[in-house]
Amino acid sequence: DGGITQSPKYLFRKEGQNVTLSCEQNLNHDAMYWYRQDPGQGLRLIYYSQIVNDFQKGDIAEGYSVSREKKESFPLTVTSAQKNPTAFYLCASSISPGSSYNSPLHFGNGTRLTVT
């Protein structure tokens, strides 16, 4: 079955450490996205990528970095510069850039990151 795989489901890190969250899709989608979910705040866009080797900052990119070396992979690194990294992180994809206007985003099941 096609879908988006995020791993791990739970991740624990000490403050000051960088951590990388994995996101892999086998839907052959061009566009991929990272969202952060906090209670009562909905989803906020961190970074998105419309094609391989290209990505753009979303609304809350500070303290995060991404890469898009392969179409199916879009890892997110939470750096030590991110002031409040503890959150639920969701990866998503869409068929093509701009297709979310008519077509849904497909989401992974998320990674819950806890930094202490």
Partner 1 sequence: GDSVTQMEGPVTLSEEAFLTINCTYTATGYPSLFWYVQYPGEGLQLLLKATKADDKGSNKGFEATYRKETTSFHLEKGSVQVSDSAVYFCALSDKSGTSYGKLTFGQGTILTVHP
Would you count residue 85 as binding partner 1 (CB under 8 A)? Answer: no
CA pair distance 68, 74, nearest whole angstrom: 5
Q: Residue 100, interface with partner 1 (CB under 8 A)? A: yes
Phi/psi for 54 (5° steps) reads -145, 140
What letter represents residue 99's amino acid? S
- Size of interface with partner 1, in residues (CB under 8 A): 29
SS3 33: strand
Find the shortest distance in angstroms from Cβ 58 to partner 1. Answer: 8
**Is residue 101 near partner 1 by the rule CB under 8 A?**
yes
Q: Is 116 in the site for partner 1 (CB under 8 A)?
A: no
CA distance 76 to 91: 9
For the segment 11-50, give every residue that binds partner 1 (CB under 8 A): 31, 33, 35, 40-45, 48, 50
- Which residues is 91 bridged to in the sheet? 34
- Measure CA of the first residue to CA of the last residue in the chain; give whole Å: 36
Q: Which is nearer to partner 1, 35 or 74 (CB)?
A: 35
- Which residues are near partner 1 by CB under 8 A? 4, 6, 31, 33, 35, 40-45, 48, 50, 58, 90, 92, 94, 97-102, 104-105, 107-110
